[in-house]
Amino acid sequence: MNWVDSAVLAAAMLAAVNVIDSHLITKRLPSLRAFLLPVAVIAIVFGVIVLVAIPIPGGAGNAPILVAVCSGIIRAVGILLFLYVMRTEEVSRVIPVVNIHPVLVAIMAVPLLDETLAVLEWLAIFLTVSGAILISRRRVSYSSGKRFKWLLVLPFIAAFCLATANLTSKYALDDFILVTKDVSFISSDMCAALNMYAIGSLTLGTCFLMVALRPAVLQQLGSLKRPRSTMTLLTFNEIMAPVAAILLFWSIARGPVSLVSAIAGAQPVFVFVYAVILSRISSGALLEKQLGKRTMALRFMAIAMIVGGMTIIHLVGD
């Protein structure tokens, strides 16, 4: 499996995780903090397990570990902002803005990481990101005043945080790979990805715990109407999330972070496909019940753009 294939698989899995997260936050759990608390505990447990199984190499030094921790904190802030705005503002105006983060990665990766992108690669990023924005876009009424200002600012901050997290992850991963060349039972890039996941998971879980650990939240979780099914679904989702995260870090370790981020930013197309499938099963879940011809045409055009961009990346990546 090359880095393009693993990035596509990571995007598909992350899209499924986001769909289930959305269902849990809006339908099953009483508050965002009630969602974050069990996620934090699971993330910390998984992070410890991976760190014990695949310890950080002794020669890694402090710099990449510190960068990995900073990357985890920045990613946690970006995710928290994204979830907060998703819960309080118009979702269809938030997702397109957050989906510009691959463009920010590409712009910053050229001077900071000395990545060079050919014209075809820039075209692939443009097609993939534009398609992701287009497929997420819906008609909404414009807000006004302070609410509209926050609607504009917070998603951009979230996008910048996600872009910065990917860039710093690439830096830390490159350093981890340098000191894991002699590991025989696992490839150096996969070992680096597991190290990066463990540090990121512990950092993200700690950040979530600081935000969510409140007596009122514990009371909310204790009074859930369907605790067993809700926690089973959440646990299943948080088992799938680490696999997706490790695949993403593995892709970043082996390929240009700008192109990997572009593929990962194509998650909306997978969300749309899942929504279509689920709408057949549960009568319109996740999908607008009535999609006009113009909307459907735009969606299919967006899918074609994303597929086209990912195809170019696949050809260039090979």
> Per-10-residue mean pLDDT for the chain, 318 residues long?
90 89 85 93 95 86 92 94 73 65 83 80 83 64 49 79 93 86 71 94 96 94 88 92 94 90 83 75 52 70 80 70
Predicted structure pTM score: 0.84
- Give the pLDDT confidence score for residue 116 in this predicted structure: 78
Neighbours of 290 (CB within 10 A): 7
Cα–Cα distances in angstroms (integers) from residue 137 to residues 89, 155, 181, 189, 286, in the given order: 14, 14, 45, 36, 14
User: pLDDT (tens digit, 9 = 90+) per residue, 214-245?
Assistant: 999 999 998 888 889 999 999 999 999 999 99
- For the chain, percent of residues with pLDDT exceeding 90: 36
Instruction: State residue 204's pLDDT score.
Output: 95
- Provide CB contacts within 8 A for 41, sequence distance 6+: 205, 209
Q: How far apart are CA 254 and CA 25, in angstroms?
A: 34
pLDDT recorded at residue 73:
96
pLDDT computed for residue 155 by the predictor: 80
Model confidence pLDDT, tens digit, residues 259-277: 898 888 888 778 778 877 7
Residue/partner pairs of 302-305 with CB below 8 Å, 24 or more apart = 302/130, 302/131, 302/132, 302/134, 302/135, 302/268, 302/269, 303/131, 303/135, 303/269, 303/272, 304/131, 305/127, 305/128, 305/130, 305/131, 305/134
CA–CA gap between residue 195 and residue 198 (Å, rounded): 5
Q: CA 27 → CA 23, 35, 212, 225, 256, distances in Å? A: 5, 11, 18, 11, 38
